[in-house]
């Protein structure tokens, strides 16, 4: 399994990627930098790549899932309810391609603010 580092200001987390074409496209384009946008308990940023909607794209997610939003070319981190959630689980605005899962404690993501710098890079153990 390939792993990535997610650095948002002083927050440093890791994630594992699945074997989807979306995960491969993202991994192959690392490092990626952007500015955070916070939408409920989702952090997203515009990524410099375009990926088509996957056949298995979905709106309902689990906490800690990473997804790519093809409509907005955005890298998304879901860690709780969003404004369109009907309960406590994350819900995307429209279908997203799930490509990975965050590792460890997600609570540092609560400190992320709009405009914070994000850097996604390869995690070398």
Digit-coded pLDDT (tens) for 97-114? 999 999 999 999 999 999
Distances (CA, A) of 98 to 53, 70, 73: 10, 11, 13
pLDDT band at 73 (very low <50, low <70, confident <90, very high): very high
Angle at 70 between CA 93 and CA 115, to 5 degrees: 70
Distance between CA atoms of residues 67 and 59, nearest Å: 10
What are the residue ranges of helices labelled H in the chain? 21-28
Domains identified in the chain, total number:
1
Q: Model's pTM, two decimal places?
A: 0.96
Mean pLDDT of 17-31: 97
Q: Report the relative pairing of strands 3-8 and 11-17 from DSSP bridges.
A: antiparallel
Rounded-to-integer distance, Cα 76 and Cα 42, Å: 7
* Domain extent for 38: 3-122
Confidence tier at 13 by pLDDT (50, 70, 90): very high
Burial environment of residue 23 by CB neighbours within 10 A (0 to 12, 13 to 18, 19 or more): buried
Q: Write the CATH number for 45.
A: 2.40.100.20
- What is the DSSP-derived secondary structure letter of residue 19? S
């Amino acid at each position: 399994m390939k792993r990535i580092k997610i650095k948002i200001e002083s927050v440093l987390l890791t994630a594992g990627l699945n074997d989807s074409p979306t995960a491969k496209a993202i991994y192959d384009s690392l490092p990626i930098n952007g500015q955070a946008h916070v939408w409920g308990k989702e952090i997203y940023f515009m990524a410099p790549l375009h990926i088509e909607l996957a056949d298995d794209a979905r709106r309902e997610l689990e906490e800690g899932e990473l997804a790519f939003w093809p409509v907005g070319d955005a890298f998304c981190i879901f860690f709780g309810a969003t404004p369109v959630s009907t309960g406590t689980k994350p819900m995307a605005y429209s279908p997203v391609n799930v490509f990975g899962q965050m590792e460890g404690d997600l609570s540092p993501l609560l400190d992320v603010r709009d405009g914070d710098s994000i850097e996604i890079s390869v995690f070398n153990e």
